[in-house]
Amino acid sequence: MDTIGVIGVGLLGSAIAARLTAAGYGVLGYDLLPERRLGAGSAQEVAGKCRTIMLCLPTSDVVAEVLGALELTPGTAIIDCTTGEPEAMAAMGTRLAKSSVDYLDATVLGSSRVVRGGTAVVMAGGRRPVFDAAAPLFKTFASRAFYLGSYGAGARMKLVANLALGLHRAVLAETLAFAHACEVSPVDALEVLKAGAAYSRVMDDKGQKMLDHDFTVEARLSQHLKDVRLILAAAGAKHAKVPLSLVHRQLLERLEAAGYGDMDNSAIIMAYE
């Protein structure tokens, strides 16, 4: 089987690499932190040895910086799993196509734990043949993969999905805090919520972590704050009304300032304590 390159071996990148390895793929991974590297001493080494390269980087600006420094062989496929700015990612795809390099903005819905469990969702934009060729890779860590259109479509869908997901976490945190204030056991409240129409999968993923104050990182709070800022920027450009996301940003900014940025995004509960 092909050796797949991974540039950015943090929470998401390491989870994808583990799933690829378990499925029988070779993986050559590079990260700025030496302890995270998977056999590669530089990003260029990955680019020189792999025809398919997955990017799991913090922002689309970092993606542009990394790709700008690489010598890419024509025919290389870049699968960009970064949650970034949609228009920047669309421009990236167009620019790479001029050098005969394929590009997918293949954003991932799900924390690193979800990816390690193989049940993430991939939302991709780019050329359909490139998406079809990447489908076996997506199946190693995702239960569904959606082709959504041309360059940037996956990134736009990720912002839509993250808006709902982030607000679900904030609503759960507020609900549990409200239950406590009303002298209702938050443990009982979570059980009842899961049983009825108020249920959300966020309750399964983050409910117990909130109750236990277990903020072991699956997805960093500061990373979601970055996503909320992207959502607000996109909303401003399209004149979309997102008042709840404005409040959400304020909550996250306060928590980041209080030192919770590198903790799991379930730490949103601390906004209410």
Continuous segment of H or E residues that includes residue 77: strand 77-80
Per the CB < 8 A criterion, the answer to whether 172 and 202 are in contact is: yes
Tell me if 108 sits within 8 A of 81, measured CB to CB.
Answer: yes
- Please answer whether residues 4 and 28 qualify as being in contact, where contact means their C-beta atoms are separated by less than 8 angstroms: yes
47 within 8 A of 70, measured Cβ to Cβ: yes
pLDDT tens per residue, range 27-79: 999 999 999 999 999 999 999 999 999 999 999 999 999 999 999 999 999 99
Over residues 107-133, mean pLDDT: 96
On whether the pTM is more than 0.85, the answer is yes
| CATH number, domain 157-272 | 1.10.1040.10
β-strand 3-7 against 102-109: which pairing, if any?
Answer: unpaired
CATH of 3-151, one of 3.40.50.720, 3.40.50.300, 2.115.10.20, 3.40.30.10: 3.40.50.720
Complete DSSP assignment for 106-138: EEEES-HHHHHTT-EEEEEEE-HHHHHHHHHHH
Residue 263: how many CB atoms within 10 A of its CB?
A: 20
What tokens were used for 79?
């699968």
- CB 47, CB 40: distance < 8 Å: no
| Tokens, residue 199 | 């249920």
Q: Is 70 exceeded by the pLDDT of residue 128? A: yes
Q: What's the pLDDT band for 113 if we cut at 50, 70, 90?
A: very high
| Domain locations along the chain | 3-151, 157-272
Average pLDDT over residues 117-135: 97
Q: How many CB atoms lie within 10 A of CB 123?
A: 23
Identify the pLDDT of residue 90.
96
Q: What is the pLDDT of residues 181-238, one digit of tens each?
A: 999 999 999 999 999 999 999 999 999 999 999 999 999 999 999 999 999 999 999 9
pLDDT at position 2 is 86
Q: Which tens digits make up the pLDDT trace of 155-196?
A: 999 999 999 999 999 999 999 999 999 999 999 999 999 999
